[in-house]
């Protein structure tokens, strides 16, 4: 009996010492100051400590069931096993989070039917899944799956410009889980039209990336998108209007295109040009480094209204950007009027523009004579012709005169109610000098004003010069002549008398 008791005590002492050695060994296995630097090696070390602690706990549990060790000994082994398990899981998570990576697989820019620009973004979990880790360190499948190493949780995505401002709608999108081998596509509407954006990605335990991505074009469209900020303009007859065009390539097969204008009347001339070099364009080509170009369309209106070009009647028309290989199949597209449905069916890039012809009156004043010479008792009668040389009727043509002091004026008519295009009207002036007018030159300033579509029109001022001559004094002249004759006769008589002596 004593031998059995002694034997049990010895076994307990041996097991207690073994447990202490195991605890010391486990502590030695878990501690290494470089585990944080070399996390994969730290994971191997933690895995070995975990397996060793589990094996020891299982043995202690069997010994406890046979009453060979105390409850305290079993609890100590359980605590060591729990610590080793936590250390192992922490090391595993550290490696998994370090190896997580979310990549931008594709970023395609396109335009939807309402004309808004969108970006179709494809994100992938490129962490490699769980196969690489399991193969490298022979990880336990159940524990490995419980940690989901092939899943990146809580991925937040937004699009930024160079000033780090969000330019996407929605402002920020969230992917709950991004699994390895299962890419996810997100569609953003662009609040700012850019060719390159920064994709801000926050995922996992706070990892963040913001790569700058040059957006791809939707090559399946095979067209050029056209936009114009000044899509509707007014222009006076005889003038011109310029539409700025932005051309953006969405094609993977064609890079040469032709510019055409349809639905404009033949009386309106048109031409395309490069806004920088001013060179005229009929065709243009995109390069590999340039997917966006600018052009200018200038239209020239006739000097006078025509049945097709009517004042204040808008003229809608279209600018087409036709692929070079498709141009020959359309024929002469300028000789017919195209409906919006027919334009859309061509499957080419186009933009609808509008031109509103306007007219403006132009007041011309013609004077056949601007200089008059009169006597003080005479009246000046002058004529002027008022002509509308503009492209719109003028109303309330007023004629005003600034006469010299004390001169009287008479204008007939003083106001012309309406003056049509190319019409003319004669205006008569009568200027009467005062009774005590002095000899000399006097100036009359004539001003003309009118309204054309409620806009003030001013004509060229005219100045009429009147010279007043002095009247001759007959009695004075007769007295002077008589006096001169008397002096001459006296001199002659005096000379004769002197010669006789």
In whole angstroms, what is the distance from residue 50 CA to residue 58 CA? Answer: 12
Can you list the positions of beta strands (E) in 210-335?
212-214, 216-217, 223-227, 232-236, 240-250, 256-262, 269-273, 280-281, 283-285, 292-300, 315-323
Q: Say if residue 106 is in the same domain as residue 202.
A: yes
Give the domain range for residue 397. 363-468
* Residue 144 buriedness (CB in 10 A; 0-12 / 13-18 / 19+): middle
For residues 261 and 270, give the distance between their C-alpha atoms in angstroms, rounded to a whole number. 8
Say if 137 falls within a structural domain: yes
How sure is the predictor about 61, in pLDDT bands with cuts at 50, 70 and 90? confident
For the chain, the domain total comes to 4
Whether 248 maps to a domain, the answer reads: yes
CATH of the domain at 451: 2.60.40.10
- Check residue 381 and give its pLDDT: 93
Residues 280 and 267 in one domain: yes
- Asked if pLDDT for residue 4 goes beyond 60, the answer is no
Tens-place pLDDT, residues 155-203: 999 999 999 999 999 999 999 988 878 899 999 999 988 888 999 999 8
Mean pLDDT score of the chain, rounded to an integer? 81
Query: What phi and psi values does residue 360 have, to the nearest 5 degrees?
Result: -145, 135
What pLDDT shows up at residue 465? 94
User: For position 252, what pLDDT does the model report?
Assistant: 61
Position 293 scores a pLDDT of 85
Nearest partner of 436 among 405, 477, 398, 394, judged by Cα: 405
CATH number at residue 267: 2.60.40.1510
Whether residue 489 lies inside any domain: the answer is: no
- Residue 334 placed within a domain: yes
> What pLDDT is attached to residue 27?
42
Q: What is the DSSP letter of 403?
A: P
Are 28 and 37 spatial neighbours (Cβ–Cβ below 8 Å)?
A: no
User: Is a pLDDT exceeding 90 seen at residue 111?
Assistant: no
335 and 393 fall within a common domain: no
Same domain as 241, residue 272: yes
pLDDT at residue 86, rounded to an integer: 82
Instruction: Classify 500 as helix, strand or coil.
Output: helix
Are 231 and 353 contacting, i.e. CB atoms less than 8 angstroms apart? yes
Helix (H) or strand (E) holding 106: strand 102-111
Tokens of 483: 């006096």
> Is 490 part of a structural domain of the chain?
no
Which is more confident, 145 or 453?
A: 453
Band of pLDDT at residue 34, cut at 50, 70 and 90: very low
On whether both 439 and 341 belong to a single domain, the answer is no
Least confident residue range of 64-68, 154-158, 326-330, 416-420:
326-330
325-371 residue pLDDT tens: 776 677 778 888 889 898 888 888 889 999 999 888 889 999 889 99
Distance between CA atoms of 143 and 139, rounded to whole angstroms? 8
């Amino acid at each position: 009996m004593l031998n059995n008791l002694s034997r049990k005590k010895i076994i307990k002492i041996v097991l207690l010492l073994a447990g202490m050695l195991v605890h010391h060994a486990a502590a030695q296995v878990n501690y290494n100051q470089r585990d944080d630097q070399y996390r994969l090696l730290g994971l191997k070390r933690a895995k070995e400590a975990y397996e060793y602690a589990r094996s020891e706990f299982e043995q202690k549990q069997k010994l406890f069931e046979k009453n060979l060790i105390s409850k305290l000994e079993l609890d100590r082994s359980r605590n060591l096993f729990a610590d080793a398990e936590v250390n192992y899981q922490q090391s595993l998570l550290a490696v998994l989070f370090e190896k997580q990576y979310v990549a931008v697989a594709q970023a395609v820019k396109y335009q939807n039917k309402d004309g808004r620009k969108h970006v179709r973004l494809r994100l992938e979990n490129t962490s490699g899944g769980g196969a690489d880790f399991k193969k490298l360190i022979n990880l336990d499948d159940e524990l490995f799956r419980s940690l989901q190493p092939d899943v990146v949780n809580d991925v937040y995505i937004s699009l930024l410009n160079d000033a780090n401002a969000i330019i996407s709608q929605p402002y920020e999108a969230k992917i709950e889980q991004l699994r390895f081998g299962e890419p996810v596509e997100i569609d953003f509407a662009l609040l700012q039209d850019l060719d390159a954006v920064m994709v801000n990605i926050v995922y996992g335990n706070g990892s963040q990336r913001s790569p700058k991505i040059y957006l791809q074009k939707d090559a399946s469209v095979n067209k050029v998108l056209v936009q114009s900020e000044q899509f509707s303009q007014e222009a006076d007859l005889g003038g011109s209007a310029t539409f700025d065009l932005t051309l953006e390539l969405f094609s993977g097969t064609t890079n040469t295109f032709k510019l055409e204008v349809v639905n404009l009347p033949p009386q309106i001339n048109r031409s395309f040009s490069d806004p920088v070099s001013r060179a005229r364009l009929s065709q243009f080509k995109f390069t590999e480094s340039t997917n966006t170009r600018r052009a200018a369309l200038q239209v020239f209106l006739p000097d006078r209204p025509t049945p097709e070009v009517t004042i204040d009647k808008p003229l809608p028309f279209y600018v087409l950007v036709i692929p070079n290989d498709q141009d020959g199949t359309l024929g002469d597209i300028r000789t017919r009027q195209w409906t919006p449905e027919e334009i859309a069916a061509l499957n080419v890039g186009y933009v609808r523009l509008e031109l509103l012809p306007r007219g403006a009156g132009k007041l011309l004043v013609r004077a056949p004579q601007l200089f008059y010479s009169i006597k003080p008792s005479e009246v000046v009668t002058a004529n002027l012709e008022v002509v509308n040389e503009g492209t719109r009727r003028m109303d309330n043509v007023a004629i005003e005169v600034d006469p010299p002091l004390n001169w009287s004026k008479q204008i007939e008519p003083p106001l012309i109610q309406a003056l049509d295009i190319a019409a003319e009207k004669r205006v008569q002036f009568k200027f009467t000098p005062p009774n005590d007018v002095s000899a000399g030159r006097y100036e009359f300033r004539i001003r003309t004003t009118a309204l054309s579509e409620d806009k003030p029109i001013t004509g060229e001022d005219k100045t009429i010069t009147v010279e007043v001559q002095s009247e001759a004094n007959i009695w004075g002249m007769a007295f002077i002549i008589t006096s001169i004759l008397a002096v001459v006769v006296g001199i002659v008589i005096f000379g004769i008398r002197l010669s006789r002596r």
